[in-house]
């Protein structure tokens, strides 16, 4: 009953490379969750390309998007398994306004003069599925994916995967209101084993970025404590946060919520 999370991209807003981000990594949001034989993917940032390069054989998988801001979809056209006819993917989005479809959003992103080829170049069987954040999805009989509305410009969806009596939550991009814990978030993460949370800023930085749609690692700690969630994974790092800065966050985090982690590219976490 394997239940694991692999981080392929942990960075927010824009990919970054170079010696100052080499340890935590510079790829934008992309996560792989394994529930036994079932593969669930979350977001299609630049990290998705590296995952694609490791996959072989015939793939049948679900890919859940938190939303369609550029850093969460820019890896989709570079995901090799989309170009292989034996594969089948269901792409899910729960944040779109009435009448808007995921197929259309992707088509407008992969469109001249912004992009050389349209989504019709994909050879895999692609299904685009819209839902309303708040619904519970069932990608398989043994897995439940609960969802909630997040507080983000253009909307975003938070996810909670439940499998084998355990749970992992993925909540990015979302902004908090200082002093007023987000009820949607508290409800979704209640008692969770692992909470991956938008930690773009520190509390001190947040004041400068009110309205940009992001939160802080300290708010993640407060939410996990209030909801009795076990472990926090600090995620969606600001590209300006270099390795030394994130080491500092990791030290503080270890004191505040033992067992918690600062996510980095390539990290695998067992959900237990
Ligand atoms: Zn983002
Ligand atoms: Zn966003």
Tokens of 213: 């749609």
Q: Which of 92, 12, 6, 1 lies closest to 45 in space, CA to CA?
A: 12
Which ligand places an atom closest to the C-alpha of 212? 2
Distance 67 CA to ligand 2 centre (A): 7
Q: How far is CA 109 from CA 63, 65, 73, 206, in A?
A: 18, 15, 9, 30
Task: Say what the pLDDT of residue 151 is.
Answer: 98
Tokens of 70: 């550029």
- Residue 12 in this model has a pLDDT that exceeds 90: yes
Instruction: Give 270's strand partners.
Output: 4
Per cent of the chain over pLDDT 70 is 100
Task: Say what the pLDDT of residue 167 is.
Answer: 98
Question: CA 102 to CA 115: how far, in whole Å?
Answer: 17
- Residue 178 in this model has a pLDDT that exceeds 90: yes
Instruction: Tell me the average pLDDT across 120-146.
Output: 97
Distance 76 CA to ligand 1 centre (A): 15
- Residue 70 in this model has a pLDDT that exceeds 90: yes
Distance 1 CA to ligand 1 centre (A): 31
- Residue 189 in this model has a pLDDT that exceeds 90: yes
Classify 68 as helix, strand or coil.
coil
Tokens of 150: 């997040």
Which ligand places an atom closest to the C-alpha of 67? 2
Instruction: Give 35's strand partners.
Output: 3, 38
Which ligand places an atom closest to the C-alpha of 151? 2
Instruction: Tell me the average pLDDT across 234-239.
Output: 98
Task: Say what the pLDDT of residue 235 is.
Answer: 98
Report yes or no: 231 and 259 within 8 Å, Cβ to Cβ. Answer: yes
Distance 25 CA to ligand 2 centre (A): 19
Q: Would you place residue 159 in the very low, low, confident or very high pLDDT band (cuts 50, 70, 90)?
A: very high
Distance 70 CA to ligand 2 centre (A): 8
Task: Say what the pLDDT of residue 1 is.
Answer: 85
């Amino acid at each position: 009953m394997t239940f694991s999370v692999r981080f392929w991209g942990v960075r927010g807003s824009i990919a970054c490379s170079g010696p100052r981000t080499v340890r935590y990594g510079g790829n934008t949001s992309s996560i792989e969750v394994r529930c036994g034989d079932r593969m669930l993917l979350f977001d299609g940032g630049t990290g998705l390309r590296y995952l694609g390069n490791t996959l072989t054989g015939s793939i049948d998988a679900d890919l859940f998007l938190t939303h369609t801001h550029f850093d969460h979809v820019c890896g989709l056209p570079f995901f090799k398994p989309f170009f292989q006819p034996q594969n089948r993917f269901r792409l899910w989005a729960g944040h779109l306004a009435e009448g808007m479809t995921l197929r259309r959003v992707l088509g407008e992103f992969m469109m001249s003069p912004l992009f050389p080829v349209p989504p019709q170049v994909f050879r895999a069987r692609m299904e685009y599925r819209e839902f309303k954040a708040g619904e519970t999805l069932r990608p398989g009989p043994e897995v439940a994916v609960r969802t909630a509305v997040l507080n983000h410009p253009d909307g975003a969806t938070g996810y909670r995967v439940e499998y084998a009596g355990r749970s992992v939550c993925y909540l990015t991009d979302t902004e908090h209101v200082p002093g007023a814990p987000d009820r949607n978030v508290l409800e979704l993460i209640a008692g969770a084993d692992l909470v991956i949370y938008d930690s773009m800023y520190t509390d001190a930085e947040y004041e400068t970025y009110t309205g940009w749609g992001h939160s802080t690692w300290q708010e993640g700690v407060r939410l996990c404590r209030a909801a009795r969630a076990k472990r926090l994974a600090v995620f969606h790092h600001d590209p300006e946060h270099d390795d030394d800065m994130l080491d500092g966050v990791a030290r503080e985090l270890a004191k505040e919520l033992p067992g918690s982690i600062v996510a980095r590219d390539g990290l695998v976490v067992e959900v237990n």
